[in-house]
Amino acid sequence: MRSDSSGQQSQETDPVDKILAQWHEERPDLDVSPMGLIGRTTRLASYLRKAIGKTFLEYGLQPGEFDVLATLRRSGSPYQLSPTELFKSMMVSSGTMTNRIDRLEKAGLVKRIADERDRRAMLIRLSEKGFSLIDEAVTAHVANEHKIISPLSADEREALTGLLRKMLRSLEDQ
């Protein structure tokens, strides 16, 4: 917040406000307020991808590779899933998942192993090297996320989380 000439508090502006003002000038008949919310969310998503991706790169990982390792790590011991379980939990195509697994296997971060319950099936298991790397990377990732959200108070974080959850559920239900 900043004070205007009368001493009253007013919200700070951002580039989206200029866009909204231009539309209001050109099309006063339209309620363009959704553009503000969606425009800011889109811009924020771009900044978040960059900030988060930077942390992943420090560990030699692309975002998708981080996702695979993190999914295996959070699955619990023995830190293995089938390729189908992986791609379903990450909402990517099987081809995309195969490429990620190939790169991670080549780097020694995961291993393909035979499924003891079905010898025809394979499992993807986090290697010791992969386990160590993802534990370090996720620690740095969480610290980075805390830094990113630090301008918000705990109450603001909780309110924003609830609102975003509500919007996401609505879109996912469509």
Domain boundaries, the chain: 6-58, 61-138
pLDDT tier at 75 (50, 70, 90 boundaries)?
very high
pLDDT tens for 122-159 read 999 999 999 999 999 999 999 999 999 999 999 999 99
Which residue from 101, 79, 103, 105 is spatially nearest to 92, judged by alpha carbons? Answer: 101
* Domain at 61-138: CATH architecture: Orthogonal Bundle (1.10)
Indicate whether 174 pLDDT > 60: yes
Query: Given this model, what pLDDT does residue 84 score?
Result: 84
Q: Which residue has the higher pLDDT, 106 or 115?
A: 106
Copy the structure tokens of residue 166: 């509500």
Q: Which residues pair with 2 in a beta bridge?
A: 10
Question: What's the rounded Cα separation, in Å, for the pair 16 and 39?
Answer: 7
Cβ–Cβ < 8 Å for 49, 106: no
Query: Given this model, what pLDDT does residue 3 score?
Result: 40
42-46, 84-88, 127-131: segment of lowest average pLDDT: 84-88
What is the β-pairing status of strands 9-10 and 118-126?
unpaired
Which residue from 165, 88, 172 is spatially nearest to 124, judged by alpha carbons? Answer: 88
